[in-house]
Structure 1
Amino acid sequence: MNNNNNNNNTIPNPLPEITLQETSKNLPALILSHYRSIFHAKISTGQAKYFVLPYSILAPTILPIIYLAIPHKNRPWLYQARWAVAALMVGLSVDLLVDGTSSANVVVAYGTGLVAVWGLIWGLTVLLVLDPQHEAARAVKRRKRTAAAVGNGNGNGNGNGHVARVKEDKGAAASSAAIDESVARLVQDEYEHYWQYYPADGSLLERLGWVMDLSVALKGIGWNFASSALPHPPPPSPNDGPSVNLSQTPQISRTGSTRHQTISSFLLNRASHIIITLLVLDLCTLIARRDPYFALGPSYPPFQLPPYLASLHPEVLSLARSLTTFIALLSGLDFYLNLHQLITFFSSTYLLPASLLNWSAPCADELWQYPSPFGPFVLNVLDNGLTGFWGGFWHQTFRIGFTAPVTFLTQRGYFEQKMTRQILTLASAFTLSACIHAAGAWTCVPEQTRIYAPFVFFGFSFIGILAEQTLWGYLKSWRCEPPPTWSRRVGNLVWVTGWLHFTGRWTFIDDLCSAGLFLFEPMPISPLRWLGVMDSGLEGDDGKWWRWDEEYRGRWVSGLEGRWWEGGLRL
């Protein structure tokens, strides 16, 4: 969308016919209206396209699902065709970025770029790195059996995902140990867990269920490629046979990610997170609406700051804006990730028919599938600094995809030295993270964003981690006496806060605000407005606790003549 991205930090008065005094009464509303007008004007002239489902996710999601649903283990030519599918995915994703696809909803507009690039990263990871029809396996459950049964798709049976058994598997009970309340019920009902490889000889419907489950397994939970940052059972081994050794699933991972053992504690934890983060996110939204910086980014002058902000020292104001942005991002991600887990578990446990659950996500009603979205702050940030912030505290949703390029090359014999792999893995993660955020800056409606800004920010994070680890390596080699815990934690807090602020404030944060993301209402209802606790202080905004208008709901649109496939649900 941002085809003429300029690199200066100025934009014209959003509504030239409105005086600055009038505009200051509710700048966010007027700026948002201006961005929407720009987008709809480009739609009417053919310069822009709507983000529509399913066409806009064809490349990253639908293509690999269709391809992988066709067995190719015994068809070498079809297996090699994955490179052609990958090339088509790249072409369609690039087309999505350059053909003006965006949205009048500022978050969907930014998310268009993220979907195009992250979807491509994950689609290529599934297609080329995980090698699903040969290597991937998911955990499924069935009632224990003592008679011979059908085999699985990895050469141990006839390929429908079940494993041949000629006698009672004495290790099955131990493997499917009651590690939490949900599994305890299954063990009581004589269920067991086993690894299901690609069901090559199963029906098309069975293969589609397996592949669709794989396509959304971003963290690998319940699969044999699960992220090491999360608590998960060990992958299949000759000693365990086909059984999933749930008894070896840790309660807490090495980065502090935890899983719950009772349904009540899980529901209470996720519900409390949702309520708290919703209130914090609403507070950040109201604070941001009072500061023109969050509506326009660094180009907000000549619009005036409120007196209480104008009186602050510039460095204090800058730090306050960084903290507000970080808290808003953290609260928003925590809110949506916990909400997703709660809805998925509740619907899988109480709403979905057993047949549909077994087809699409066979273990989605089990607690071990839902580790905490974020790692503990003290263990990761205060004890491990910037390395812990990115490697353990921050959500690990994209970890497998971000490290996939190095995994792909390592599988082929490159990077035999451990330190080389670690450095390249770190570089890969930050580079790809910068790519998806730069793509979001490209597809947003405002033209004052800078696509290089995410690369600068994440590049500095890469440098900061290398500097941090080098320093600790020198201190260990000098056998220095470790500092007291409290001083190390204070030092890490200052170091991480300072580094992220001074490297992110003029790059990443400026760009998020320039993209108009703080003009987005994260929830349809503003609890603080509804309760009468706080308002934005803007004219025409006070007391309006219902926040979503027509641009927040999808609509069905038809494709242009001769391009019917571009029709669908537009966001």
Structure 2
Amino acid sequence: MADHSFVRYEQILLDTRNRLHSLIQRGDAKPWLLWHALLPMVLPFVALLIPQRKGGLFLRPLLFFATVSIIVEIILYRRALLGANGYMVGLIMAWWLVWSSTLLFFNDVEHDFRRIERIQPVVGKGRTGQNGPSNGEKLRSDMVPADFNSLIWQPYPQSFLHRLGWTLALLLNLRGPDFNFRIPSLDPLPLQLASKHHQTASKNSYPSVRTRLCTAAVWFFVSYLAIDILKLILILDPYFFGAVSAPAPYPFNCLSAVPGLVQTYRYLASGLGVYFALQFVTPLNPLFFLGLATTFPSAAQALTATPLDATWLYTDQFGPFTAILDQGLAGAWSTWWHQMFRFGFISTAKWIISFLPQGISSRRSIRRIITTLVAFSISGMIHALGSYTQLGDTRPLGPFLFFFLQAVGVFVQDTCSRILVSLLTRQRVPPTRWLRRVGNGLFALGWLLLTGRLIADDFAKGGLWLTEPLPVSFVRGLMGRGWLCWRTAWFEYYDDGTFWGSGVRLR
């Protein structure tokens, strides 16, 4: 059985590579080039670099239009195997459209955004050290350094060199850990950055550098091993490569005795695959930046004004699991699950709400409903476009409906909870905390399993699980199936004779 499964898996990989090659040869698809992927990120960066009063007000719409045009062209025509059989082509481009809109139009970056920076002591009249305001920038009263490691809220810089680092950090910090738009699930800020808009904490409340690095390293290696084991399970089960109606392989075939258990195991395996993939990648942030900043502090301070050695910058990607028990499905998505896209979703919702009449937009319940619907709709759109750019037989409507129905589930649970609590209270038997937690957990799990087919089947049909995230497989190596997983080059030079079609290809 195992031999047959591995042969089938290798054949599917070969057929998929051949299919992409055939599509490109026939002109039905075009290769995704590295500079195509980078250009939609560079153009908003350039747009944000230029102040509005120096032409940015007119240049930003033009660069945004160029960014949108490139993103649309990539989603419609460009394909690659890299990134979950092309899934990341659509997902990254769709998200970058949302993020560019958030920074260029839905918010006033120059007026409203502040970045946390470390400044050095004043070394001369009207000037500061390397990381402080310079070139005519004035220190506000709340920016005066108290010591060598003082932190300030730095607004949009006036000097070009300072603005380079500030803008790059803005573009790459989705959760905003060092900006004033930081999402609420991050660690509290130090007392010296006290603000009515942000929770603060004493220095002793933060984990030490050693603790933060050890936690990140543990998650990295646990996730590595978990992905290795899950990958073996996926290879053995034909469901995960498109045969969604295939019977479960041994030893999971015993689950077929109970209706729904096979589907439950497959949906849970799909969810765990995504979860551990994120937990495998996100620890690299503290391991790399915090590790280097504490090992080479002088170099880190010379490179950037961001206090990279501050452990509060590196909050865990996922929130406490108890959020699901305390808040149900809403807690699963708004607190426990990763919040990388949160600010972009909320900014889009606020922009839409701004067009509503004051009498409607001022109502808290209306704002909550619109924000929830917009957030899940955009998430559905992003994942649907990821499905669209895959090479498999996908149905992008499935992922969109999955996320849209999460909003419906949040409203259903909220309504049912209110009715049930009201009934029990009137009967003088208010629900205890443990009963609320059980109910919240069961509803969240049940709703996710009920709607999971919409996205899990599409993952399988699209070839999401064909990706090899690990360079070396210890499990397959011990089984005699080979240790090395990355057997083909990720990049190659491609030239179709045109400027736009020539460059380093993402395979």
Q: Same fold, TM exceeding 0.5?
A: yes
Note if contact 1:441-1:515 (Cα within 8 Å) is conserved in structure 2. yes
Among 311, 319, 325, the alignment partner of 1:367 is: 311
Among 499, 520, 529, the alignment partner of 2:476 is: 529
Percent of aligned pairs with the same residue?
A: 28
Aligned to 1:44: 25
> C-alpha offsets along residues 444-495 of structure 1, whole Å, 9 cap, x if unaligned?
111x100100121112111110011122333455545442333332322221
Aligned to 1:554: 491
Note if contact 2:402-2:451 (Cα within 8 Å) is conserved in structure 1. yes
Aligned to 1:343: 288
User: 1:79-90 residue pairs with structure 2 within 5 A?
Assistant: 79-90=57-68
Among 399, 415, 419, the alignment partner of 2:342 is: 399
- Compute the TM-score of the two structures, normalised by the length of structure 1: 0.79
Note if contact 2:187-2:315 (Cα within 8 Å) is conserved in structure 1. yes
Change (3 A) 1:294 1:456: same
Among 281, 286, 293, the alignment partner of 2:232 is: 286
Question: Following the alignment from structure 2 to structure 1, what is the Cα–Cα distance between the partners of residues 2 and 487?
Answer: 26
Note if contact 1:386-1:496 (Cα within 8 Å) is conserved in structure 2. yes
Note if contact 1:402-1:428 (Cα within 8 Å) is conserved in structure 2. yes
> C-alpha offsets along residues 179-232 of structure 1, whole Å, 9 cap, x if unaligned?
xxxxxxxx6xx32011111122x13x3322221111001001110111122234
Note if contact 1:222-1:232 (Cα within 8 Å) is conserved in structure 2. no
Note if contact 1:521-1:547 (Cα within 8 Å) is conserved in structure 2. yes
Change (3 A) 1:452 1:71: same
Aligned to 1:64: 44
Aligned to 2:466: 519
Helix, strand or coil at the partner of 1:567: strand
Note if contact 1:161-1:196 (Cα within 8 Å) is conserved in structure 2. no
Aligned to 1:244: 193
Aligned to 2:387: 441
Q: Does 1:453 align with 2:398?
A: yes
Helix, strand or coil at the partner of 1:134: helix
Q: Does 1:486 align with 2:462?
A: no
Note if contact 1:113-1:439 (Cα within 8 Å) is conserved in structure 2. yes
Helix, strand or coil at the partner of 1:107: coil
Note if contact 1:386-1:465 (Cα within 8 Å) is conserved in structure 2. yes
Question: Following the alignment from structure 2 to structure 1, what is the Cα–Cα distance between the partners of residues 304 and 284?
Answer: 20
Q: Does 1:32 align with 2:13?
A: yes
Change (3 A) 1:230 1:307: closer
Note if contact 1:39-1:445 (Cα within 8 Å) is conserved in structure 2. yes
> C-alpha offsets along residues 108-154 of structure 1, whole Å, 9 cap, x if unaligned?
61100011100111111111123212221101111244976359xxx
Question: Following the alignment from structure 1 to structure 2, what is the Cα–Cα distance between the partners of residues 245 and 135?
Answer: 17
Change (3 A) 1:331 1:462: same
Question: Following the alignment from structure 2 to structure 1, what is the Cα–Cα distance between the partners of residues 225 and 499?
Answer: 44
Note if contact 1:259-1:372 (Cα within 8 Å) is conserved in structure 2. no
Change (3 A) 1:406 1:564: closer
Aligned to 2:260: 315
Note if contact 2:189-2:312 (Cα within 8 Å) is conserved in structure 1. no
Q: Does 1:331 align with 2:308?
A: no
Question: Following the alignment from structure 2 to structure 1, what is the Cα–Cα distance between the partners of residues 183 and 229?
Answer: 33
User: 1:4-403 residue pairs with structure 2 within 5 A?
Assistant: 26-59=7-40, 61-72=41-52, 74-75=53-54, 78-99=56-77, 101-105=78-82, 107=84, 109-145=86-122, 149=126, 163-164=139-140, 190-200=148-158, 202-203=159-160, 205-233=161-189, 244-245=193-194, 249-250=199-200, 260-298=206-244, 301=246, 305-313=248-256, 314-351=259-296, 354=299, 357-360=301-304, 362-378=306-322, 380-403=323-346
Deviation at 1:28, TM superposition (A): 1.7
- Residue ranges of structure 2 left out of the alignment (5+ in a row): none
Question: Following the alignment from structure 1 to structure 2, what is the Cα–Cα distance between the partners of residues 445 and 361?
Answer: 43
Question: Following the alignment from structure 1 to structure 2, what is the Cα–Cα distance between the partners of residues 311 and 318?
Answer: 13
Question: Following the alignment from structure 2 to structure 1, what is the Cα–Cα distance between the partners of residues 491 and 320?
Answer: 37
Question: Following the alignment from structure 1 to structure 2, what is the Cα–Cα distance between the partners of residues 469 and 368?
Answer: 33
Question: Following the alignment from structure 1 to structure 2, what is the Cα–Cα distance between the partners of residues 132 and 43?
Answer: 41
Question: Following the alignment from structure 1 to structure 2, what is the Cα–Cα distance between the partners of residues 21 and 288?
Answer: 12
Among 356, 359, 370, the alignment partner of 1:424 is: 370
Deviation at 1:251, TM superposition (A): 5.6
- Compute the TM-score of the two structures, normalised by the length of structure 2: 0.88
Change (3 A) 1:25 1:359: closer
Aligned to 1:498: 446
Note if contact 1:260-1:371 (Cα within 8 Å) is conserved in structure 2. no
Question: Following the alignment from structure 2 to structure 1, what is the Cα–Cα distance between the partners of residues 304 and 189?
Answer: 20
Question: Following the alignment from structure 1 to structure 2, what is the Cα–Cα distance between the partners of residues 358 and 471?
Answer: 56
Note if contact 1:106-1:515 (Cα within 8 Å) is conserved in structure 2. no
Match of 2:482, as an amino acid? K
Deviation at 1:43, TM superposition (A): 2.1
The size of the alignment, in residue pairs, is: 493
Question: Following the alignment from structure 1 to structure 2, what is the Cα–Cα distance between the partners of residues 461 and 564?
Answer: 40
Helix, strand or coil at the partner of 1:50: strand
Deviation at 1:398, TM superposition (A): 0.6
Question: Following the alignment from structure 1 to structure 2, what is the Cα–Cα distance between the partners of residues 129 and 159?
Answer: 30
Deviation at 1:558, TM superposition (A): 3.9
Match of 1:401, as an amino acid? G
Match of 1:276, as an amino acid? V
| CA-atom RMSD in angstroms | 3.1
Question: Following the alignment from structure 1 to structure 2, what is the Cα–Cα distance between the partners of residues 570 and 391?
Answer: 34
Helix, strand or coil at the partner of 1:568: strand
Question: Following the alignment from structure 2 to structure 1, what is the Cα–Cα distance between the partners of residues 205 and 26?
Answer: 52
Aligned to 2:482: 544
Helix, strand or coil at the partner of 2:118: strand
Q: More displaced, 344-353 or 391-400?
A: 344-353
Question: Following the alignment from structure 2 to structure 1, what is the Cα–Cα distance between the partners of residues 303 and 109?
Answer: 17
